[in-house]
Structure formats: structure tokens, C-alpha cells
Chain A
């Protein structure tokens, strides 16, 4: 049974860095999947942030590329997201997903709400 669990601060100050972790259970991070981050707001809907493979290869949304870093920790079987220089526009529910958009192994975590506010 695959489980993805997002965790991290629910409140981040403007201009700060949003850091989230996705703990993966039931499957190895090193299996042949891409691990994605997607966010959702009422205003903009669902926005794909980017994805990472276990070897460190990444694909980022060009609109966020300058502020996004993703990483893999094989020893902890988890992936991480860092988003720098955040503003109120980055307030969203952040989802971790396996193989988002890539076919039948597509699977999402339950998401975590992150608010950017002073």
C-alpha cells in the first residue's frame, strides 16, 4: 500500500523559504518513478511545480524554476521541496505525487496547507 505524507511548516514568512518533505511508504524512492510536487489555490487551480527522479534528474515548471529546488533522500525514502523568496501568492495546498501525469502509477498524497504571512 503506497502512502505519501507531506510535512513541514504550515506558516512561512514573506521572503522566506518554504521547505516541505514527502515521506514515501510502500515503495522505494529508487524505483523507476518520478516524484512530483503540485500546488493548488482557489484562484489559480492546480499548478505543477516540478518533478525529480531518484538519480537527481529534475524537471521544473519554467514559471517557478528560479525559486525551486527538489531533492531526494534515499536513506529516508523521502523527497523534499524548497521554494525561495515566497510571497502571499505562494499560499496553497502542496501535494506530493508519484508519476504525476505519467500514467497508471499516478498517485498523490493528501496535501499540506502552507500559508505565507507575517
Chain B
């Protein structure tokens, strides 16, 4: 089974900061990686698919990169509404998720 490991598990940053979240797959998953945002009490929403494609309607401050086993979600300038938990998900075969990264605003 391919495991997905996110880091950090939580972070606190200020408005305007650049924030980076990493996701590592235990085996090569090529570009089969999605990123989701989940606000409290809400369903996850797709931010990035196929490692680097921005979902329609998602602000351009969000970006994804990586391939193979190492992936990154970057928020270029953190906004108050970005306070949420972010999950990576491998998108081939079993759609396994990472354990999540909780982003809080300082």
C-alpha cells in the first residue's frame, strides 16, 4: 500500500506570509496528487489536481508542484480565509489521503 505523509501537521503564520506544506508518497505516484482545503464543519474542496493544476475558482495564491514522491502546496500570501486544514490525496487506484495540515493565522 502506498502511504501519504504530510508535514507539518500544523502551522501558525501571519497574514501575507508564504506558507509551504509538503506531502510525501511512499512510492512513485508520478503526478497523481490532489490537494484539498477543509474548513471547520465543511466538506473538503479541491484546490489542486494532477499535482499542479489549479481548480477553477481557486485563488491564484495557491499553487502545487512536485512529481514522483515529493509534492508541495504553496500559499504565496496567506489570507485570513485560508485558515483551514489541508489534505493531500493520491489520485490513482486507492484514493488515500494524507493526515492533514492545520493552518492557523497568527
Task: List chain A positions with a Cβ less than 8 A from chain B.
Answer: 36, 45-48, 61-62, 95, 97, 100-104, 106-111
Contact = CB atoms under 8 A, between A and B. Distances in A.
Given A46-B87, A104-B49, A104-B55, A110 B43 contact: yes
Interface residues of B, number: 22
Contacts of A62: 94
Contact of B45 (A101, A108, A111): A108
A108 B89 contact: no
Contact of B49 (A46, A106, A108, A110): A106
A46 B97 contact: yes
Contacts of B90: 101
A47 B97 CA distance: 7
B42 interface: yes
A95 B43 contact: yes
B43 A108 contact: yes
A94 to B, nearest CB: 11
